[in-house]
Amino acid sequence: MKIAIYPGSFDPITNGHVDIATRAASIFDEVVLAVYDAPPKRLLFTTDERVEMARQALRRLPNLRVTSYAGLTVHFAHQAGAQFIVRGLRVISDFEAEHQMALTNRELASDIETICLMTRREYAFLSATIVKEIAKLGGPVENFVPPHVAQALRTRFGSAEQQKVSVIPTQLLRD
């Protein structure tokens, strides 16, 4: 059995994450999407909320399950019986971070291989951070996240009407 974990913050899960998870599920026998409970960044959603949104987004994949984890990613990989860590690559800056993380994880656990999947062109600009920024400013996020996640973001930030914001600042689109 080839088992992979796909770890990350998933705050919240986006269509880019869904695409990587779906492709990983077609490569490996079993995939565990692993929601890291305390990443070194400010979170919008709780661990339970992030897990629940990911579960709902990926429930059509029979060989993928979603769970949270704490501590070292390689320890969780061992616990899950996984031999692989899947990550997604968008731009050069992702490569630098993933390269450093993959080499560090190899030092910690030489039996775990990191596999990076290249994003699809349409998701290359997409990050959970930018989706949160757009939602915060009352912009539409329906094209970037599954419908239940868009709803959760609207609930968290309120609708555009409530905020009286009608356009996304062009600065945001350039970043």
93 in Cβ contact with 18 (< 8 Å)? no
CA-CA distance, 47 to 40, in Å (whole number)?
14
Residue closer to ligand ADP, measured from CB, 9 or 68: 9
Closest approach, Cβ 42 to ligand ADP, in A, equals 12
The residues that bridge with 35 in the sheet, in sequence order, are 8, 68
Q: Residue 8, interface with ligand ADP (CB under 6 A)?
A: yes
- Complete DSSP assignment for 15-68: HHHHHHHHHHHHHSSEEEEEEESS-SS--SS-HHHHHHHHHHHHTT-TTEEEEE
Closest approach, Cβ 137 to ligand ADP, in A, equals 20
Residue closer to ligand ADP, measured from CB, 20 or 58: 20
Contact stretch for ligand ADP (CB under 6 A) within 64-72, 104-112, 118-126, 157-165: 118-126
Residue closer to ligand ADP, measured from CB, 20 or 53: 20
Contact stretch for ligand ADP (CB under 6 A) within 6-14, 52-60, 150-158, 160-168: 6-14
Q: Residue 133, interface with ligand ADP (CB under 6 A)?
A: no
- Identified binder of ligand ADP from the candidate list 39, 71, 140, 147, rule CB under 6 A: 39
Q: CB-based contacts of 144: which residues, under 8 Å, 6+ apart?
A: 14, 15, 126, 131, 134
CA-CA distance, 145 to 151, in Å (whole number)?
10
Cis peptide bond prior to 62, omega within 30° of 0: no
Contact stretch for ligand ADP (CB under 6 A) within 52-60, 107-115, 124-132, 145-153: 124-132
CA-CA distance, 73 to 44, in Å (whole number)?
21
> x/- string (CB under 6 A) for ligand ADP, residues 74-113?
-------------xx-x---x-------------------
- Residues within the interface to ligand ADP (CB under 6 A): 8-10, 14, 16-17, 20, 39, 87-88, 90, 94, 119, 123, 126-128
